[in-house]
Structure 1
Amino acid sequence: MVLVSISTAPPAAKLTRLVVLVFAITAGSSAGCLYYLQPLLHEVAGELSISTATAALVVSAAQVGYLAGLALLVPLGDFLERRRMVPVLLAASVAALIFSAAAPNLPVLLLSVFATGVTASAAQVVVPWASALAHPDRRGEIVGTVMSGLLLGILLSRVLAGAVAQLGGWRAVLVVAAGIQLVMSVSVYLLAPATGQAARVPGASGERYLEVLASIVTLIRVHPVLRHRMVLGFLAMACFSGVWTAIAFLLSGAHGAPYEFSEFAIGLFGFAGVAGALGAPVVGRLADRGRLRAVTTLVWIVVLISWALLAWGGHNLFALVAALLVFDFGIQGIQLSNQSAVYALDPAARSRLTTAYMVTYFLGGVAGSVTAGSAYQAGGWSLVCELGSAATILGLALWALFARGAHASRPAPQPA
């Protein structure tokens, strides 16, 4: 299979507000497919007669599928026409969600949600697509807006899941999600601009598929910033996935927790993180102004503070809501600061840079969901918060080390 690269810089005028909105919704609806069942794990566990730790594997299977899509499909965004590629992935997502809704047992459900995760990688084709179309002076802001849509999709998927599950059960949630993906497939095809006419790009034209994948390893080797941000992304996503996996058990009253909310009420907690997601464009604008290092430090400190609130929230509802707002703002800030640094490395390789970064990022998600399920069963919400605090302290220490090393490696200014 030979791939011919296409231009990554069509006229900026094509990136209208409507297109940015379509990109944001597409990213959100695709990423949301990974998490529709997360607040309903207690219900899934009851219907399929499995433990809470086993139920958490449903989320992990979707994330593993997402990893496969990131590794094998997203790099093609640097070479194929994204306006055709994204609608095809969204249409495939419709089929995978329908199969998940009809799954008669756990093995079939795990397989179908894995396929759903693969197709959900459309979200990470859209993000570098928006970055490529954006004017350099507004790139951070626009990527922040699309990333806000992505995080809102993750958070609001829980709200939608709770509302629909209250009326028709967890299977109905997946049918509704399939309908949303169908609408977005048509919308992207009709409204988004083509990437551009085929053109030969030095170092990319005529590359074969395996060579494209191998070039990702080269990017990781030659860019220390990419390696650093991959590590930080892993830790941040482990924290994020851990909280939102364990909170489904906390709010349902599992293992003696003080809350006993319905599926609808559990889903409503997704609103607590919406304000955090809406803060992402602010972080992007600060990154555009050259304050990326300060922003990165700040958002890691915010996440560390949020763990104290989350631990308090184990027995105080108001503290829990405030903690989720602060926590999601910090996590989204980390994600956006990481992507701003990564996308600045090589404009012609943004999809492959996305693959390198996001594969590690969602490996952290898999680790977080699996660890949180086991930790909650072993020690409850307090153990989950202790592990998350430790991961955040490690991330903050590593960032200090990376930032210091980058500063030391800069050449000293020479006198005129």
Structure 2
Amino acid sequence: MKTHNSFEERFEFTGKLKTFSLVAIVIGVLAIAFGFVFEGGEHIQRTYSNLLLMSYYFVCICIGGVFFSAYQYVSQSGWSAALLRVPQALAKVLPFASLILLIVVTAGLFQTHEIVGEDGKKELVPYLYAHWAAHGLTIMGSENYDAIIAGKSAFLSIPSFYALLIVLLGSYSFLGWSIAKNSNDEDTTGNMVNYKKNFKLSVIFLVLFGFTFPLFAFGVIMSLEAHWFSTMFGWYNLAAAHVMGVAMIALIIIYVRKKGYMGWLAVDHLHDLGKIIFGFSIFWTYVWFGQFFLTWYANIPEESAYFYIRWEPEFKWWFWVNITLNFLAPLLMLMSRDAKRLEVRMKWTCIVLIVGHWLDYYLMIMPGTVGPKGAGFGVEEIGVFVGFAGTFTYLVFTQLSKFTSLIPKKHPFLEESLHHHI
């Protein structure tokens, strides 16, 4: 590494962080193995549920990085130019995260186990998406026929499900990777060609993302409980992905600055990231409350069932902890101007939100897969979380180290970013 303000500065991924990430990956592999070696479906079901939780969480953080990069280009923002390498590193990891999600979904969809249904009959169902992927649900005359699922079969079928995932994840990954590549190439060419390419790619991404991310959330998460439906669910997930993405960007920046990199970034850049985190945490709460309150007020049985199970004693405590971590914490910790300019305050707010939205996803997935009897935090939850944290750390910092420079030195708005003061 050269001097703090050298535009040739490159990140070196070595030392304790790299060791931690590799050790964490090993812990995750052992936890997954632990979950699968137990006889009986409960531990295997919990393991699959946690794998889905963390792989979806992983993808959403990376998508948050692409989203952040894209709207910076489209809005032609100057303040963010000097920090774009961090969200671009997230964008470069998205293809790996997408592949992991597809592997988890495929394994959980095609590995089956026997359960006893409400009528006392034994059924053979997959570990994931049993509500719509079990045999006979859409076949008229079958003893397992379900009219509601049959009515949704155009969307909830294995071919449609895979087409949705492959097309959307492939498109998001390609666009994110292309934006990062063009930005890196811009350092060499020094003209406006790559910037203009990224402007166009970002427009395409934002239009595609805005219209299709709710479908992605519907397919991967909401279809775990396929009888239930909420038109707000997609925006609720989008808000969470954005908050997590920006929180992770801020946390990475705080870490690399502590290690002596990115000395050109000022407290003003952190302030702007804090404003985004604060604002979209409020938006997340608005959508969360809208979805919950309207369901509670209408009290329609087929809608209320989703929240009813989350008010079981095993989950109700975490239901309220969720809103505390993801709304009250950022509200109280980041409301004032000075709070957004305090590095330690920002760091802990980001950590709280990253953990808080993991809990949010936990409550989206676990009640519908493991149910109240399988609630809790054991080896599977902790181990899989640690394993994915290690995988994420290793991949993101590896990609960050591959940029020719930690600053997009030929970005047309770089000077504005370097002299950004608010």
The answer to whether TM tops 0.5 is no
Query: Structure 2-normalised TM-score?
Result: 0.30
TM-score normalised per structure 1 = 0.30
More contact order relative to length (CA 8 Å, sep ≥ 6): 2
More helix by share: 1
Over alpha carbons, which structure has the higher Rg? 2
